[in-house]
Structure 1
């Protein structure tokens, strides 16, 4: 038996037994369709390094969609939390690589925002998201004080995901 993590379900359409996605997944798809291009566009206006950092966050928002589909279609869950959430743990490692560099504050914002994505296994999702939003916002305020319009736009796009 292999100890390698199983891949997450496809981030593309994965129908239920009736062929229809649950409404909350459809709503997430609509939001994701707005969020990702907005974050990516604003990050590219700042520079390549922020684009790379933002790409990690955007990829994991897309993986969150696969997790939501899995939750909606799961009938007999097993305790495989480590396998299911391995990509999110790996994302945290990727983001950590930006620490102590020119994007240290941005890294902290993305790190907290990624942590908020773990709301799916929290007993109180809204409180969980709020906690990590506040932590991200603590670092965002320092970026906003730079008064750079492109960085301000990026901060608002990343935080916008947590506020919706």
Structure 2
């Protein structure tokens, strides 16, 4: 992961932060002229709208961003309820990686084609997390196994976040 990717990722975060900031400032001006009941509804919709934006970017940026979202989803003392509800999706329902990517990773790591490694391989993962996903499979000898596959490129994403944030890995 080079400087171009790093800058692109940081620009996405900065752009979203700016967009969310201006959204809140606009709503702040708007609610001055409405009743308290409407004001609360407008703020709730604003929080949910911006939480969905944050969720989408965290899923796109992967890795430690997803971990941060998972952590924030437990912090009702810090974030409004709509953020907690939206970010809870990061706890157990991340989108799975494409099967082609998963098979490619397995074949690259184990040095054999999938058909030589497994008699069966479930295409739908049992679980998908921020750095890996898990699939059920059957070996050629009939033993049932669970295969945990690290997401392609996740190591570079984690190292980039650690390296460029000033944290030392050593």
Instruction: Tell whether the structures are fold-level matches, with TM greater than 0.5.
Output: no
TM-score (norm 1): 0.31
Greater RCO, CA 8 A, separation 6+: 1
User: Larger % of strand: which?
Assistant: 2
More helix by share: 1
Q: TM-score, normalised by structure 2?
A: 0.30
Who wins on radius of gyration, i.e. which is larger?
A: 2
